[in-house]
Structure 1
Amino acid sequence: MSMTARDALAGRRALVLGAGVAGLTAACALRHFGAGVDILEQAPAIAEVGAGLQISPNGVRVLRALGIDPAEAGDPSAAVELRDREGRLVTRLDLPQSPGFYLCHRADLVGALERAARRAEAHVQLLQSVREVALTPQGAEVVTAVGSTHHTPLLIGADGLHSVLRRVLDGGAEPFFTGQVAWRALIPGDGGAPVAQVFMGPGRHLVSYPLRGGALRNIVAVQERTAWAAEGWNHPDDPDNLREVFAGFGGPVRGWLDQVRAVYLWGLFRHPVAGQWTDGQGRAALLGDAAHPTLPFMAQGANMALEDAFSLARNLAASPDAPAAALRRYATDRAPRVRAIVAKANANARNYHLRGPLAPLAHGALRLASALAPGAALGRYRWIYDYDVTA
């Protein structure tokens, strides 16, 4: 990249709402092209809660373009194994090692991005819960709960599911309960291979993989049910509820669940992709979950946020004197791709939960396809993984 491109946004400033994956990546990407960046974060410290996530090659390319070694955030993943409820292997998808897939603790990814943002001299302000956002002729005005007011020519909404800026740009859109809930838990690691395993059963499935070199094991378990559960990551539940739902699962699942001491339950809600990502005048834009929350069944939430951030900064750098056109181009570039990924995640939820005679038929077809055309299953997702937003 030429020095001209690296300095394209020199003298420009942006204010980012949120210091999660989306916000910190946006800060790094904007600084990469020379813009000055301030970040408002409502928490008292940047200490991301949550558990595991997976970074696929499309996200890895963004990290590397921003000078971040993905090994700072996680461990290379060797494969994905699909198994039936008894633990029998249905198919194994061996993963290419360049640029690679990574198994990450969310806190480690956020930590790597925070270090990069601070190295790049992005300015982070904590304890800044946003109360109100207003667009002005000069840009945007942000008022926080502690009474401080911030003026900025460009406001970036990376403030997640309940984005304040999305309400201004796109209005309120009510999510709906999908009829699925998910538990997440971390247990001590067992030194297992760096492989993500999916155990599929009627109306439920469980995903598990090691973290931090095998020191921890991440568990996410999903059940279809009519009983509503609140949305959000941090609602404690009784581990016995999780064990009861997955009592019929074999292989290592029972032993893993016996070790669960703390578990969190959340309802899975489907949110529409925002219809309006920008204000049309170059003053504000959404990215990440603020624009397109997704169900977790393609492991692309963090990856889409990484892509969004680089795309937004790159488009602004390509047209530094025409921010309105740059942000419109960003939204036009991103919306079709994220809609397709969200739709694929929605479909995968059904594929993991087959009942009755459909399950063995589908599993048999997967085994046969894997034997006849190794790699074909992963190839169906090349449109996701081969994408390079940094090119």
Structure 2
Amino acid sequence: MSVPGFEQTLRAAVPQVLGAVVRRYGDFDRCEDAVQEALLAAARQWPAEGVPADPKAWLITVAARRRVEDLRSETARRRREETVATALPEPGPVPSVDDSLSLLFLCCHPALSPSSQVALTLRAVGGLSTAEIARALLVPEPTVGQRISRAKQRIRAAGARFTTAGRLDEVLGVLYLIFNEGYTASSGPALHRVELSTEAIRLTRQLPVEGEVAGLLALMLLTDARRPARTRPDGGLVPLAEQDRSRWDRALIAEGVELITATLATAVIGPYQVQAAIAALHAEAPAAADTDWPQILRLYDLLAALTPGPMVTLNRTVALAMVEGPGAGLAELGDPAPDEHHRVTAVRAHLLEMAGRADAARAQYSAAAERTLSVPEKLYLRDRASDLGRGGVGGPGA
């Protein structure tokens, strides 16, 4: 595709286009089909004719026309075209309102299972392909396709309304996943998908910023502040301990610290707030050596009690090793497993390196490099495997 920024333009526009068409015509399933047809039309026309001045308006207009044509075709088949089609709303002016948030709540409808909510939102709001969603969720691609198809059918059967009424916990969980996929892409040549993390922050800002919403927003801001320092010129990953902290976004850090400080003083504590507090401790340390690891370990103990899970356990293991030494962390990890996540293998490699066991660390770095689908992570892990003994101690976190 020769049009600069073509894919980024389409991905950014999809949730707003789909939201506008669903609001006007209803029926999420058929409206998404119409939007997909509009995207195909753009793929055919824009490379030859150029990207329109207002891509969103162009896509909404084309998708709306496709949906009207579809409705009229259905009406004709029922022999009621003349009566019903005249009542159908024409495409009309492109709405100025951004319906992305309403679309997000629709995708998190209570009729859907949590896994379907996540998959549908990543497709409709995040703009990820089925294959990208499958990699993000670590499930087979056909499974994701089935979840999305069933989700659209259930929304249709439930007669879901286009509204922001919904389950906030599920919405926050989906926004968290979208941000994480944008901050550390699960696969591909780039570490970041900035459009996803930016969209997650934008949508979170539209929610009432209090309690866990404030915690999640603070976590996103404090985490995203590190993005400028996370990659080398060749695109390779720079772990947290080795990052140039002068490149961190201090405005985002200040906003995030202020937000989480105020929230912890007033709200019932929740897991996003705890994670934000951990991120704030990293952000406020002038250098990696100044990090308050004992306090971080205590916060991970609290997080494990609130929401236990494999990634919480892994991160707590790193904190434990920084407080009590690499031997304690290695004891927590246990022996390598052939099917373990590459980040577990990378942490084991890092702790072995800290313990001075270079050969064992090199083998684990190489194993982790083979398992990751992220090119920047692969570059970093291979470099650690080949450069042991020639530089400072790195780390798996970023």
Shorter-chain TM-score range:
under 0.3
Bigger Rg over Cα: 2
TM-score by length of 1: 0.28
Higher percent of residues as helix: 2
Larger RCO: 1 or 2 (CA < 8 Å, sep 6+): 1
TM-score by length of 2: 0.27
Higher percent of residues as strand: 1
